[in-house]
Amino acid sequence: MMPLSPERTHTAMTMTAEQRLVQLQLALPTLQSPQASYVPYRRAGDLLFLAGQGPFGPDGQVLVGKLGRDLTVAQGYAHARLIGLQLLATVRHALGSLDRVQAVVKLLGMVNADPEFAEPPAVINGCSDLLLEVFGAEIGPHARSAIGVATLPGRMSVEIEAIFQVRD
């Protein structure tokens, strides 16, 4: 991600997340229904927990593959960025507006990886970078884990879950 110029930094700091979405020309996808016995999000106090999500293509099909064998880091990064958009769509559905997010607290990113693949953090940066772009330097920084796993549901390439601190 390119550093922002002083003018863009000031503008980015004064814009809301919803305004940044428009400025960045980002469209949030339609929410996917859970395919098992769980809910897509659950609020507990001022925390919003989002269930793990995988990447969906424009046709609504899950994007599959194993990083380090079928997919490159750049492709995995793009898949994680798509998941970031899906997470934002879930937050907006849960809260009515992204502007109610007080902090991005934590991400857990899981990468369907070949045993020799050592770059899960570079893949999950696709989601992290998006959240920083949308929420800015005050709200967007977050704790994170990025791990490689032997498989994910439906052979999806990446799965990410998130926790947000929210305000009423």
pTM here is 0.91
What does the pLDDT average to over 133-143?
97
Does the structure show a pLDDT above 50 at 9? Answer: no
> Which strands form 101-112's sheet, in the order they lie side by side?
41-44, 47-53, 158-166, 101-112, 143-149
pLDDT in tens, 53-80: 999 998 989 999 999 999 999 999 999 9
pLDDT in tens, 98-128: 999 999 999 999 999 999 999 999 999 999 9
Residue 33 lies in a domain: no
Residue 1 lies in a domain: no
CATH number of the domain bearing residue 75: 3.30.1330.40
Residue span of the structural domain in which 155 resides: 6-28+40-166
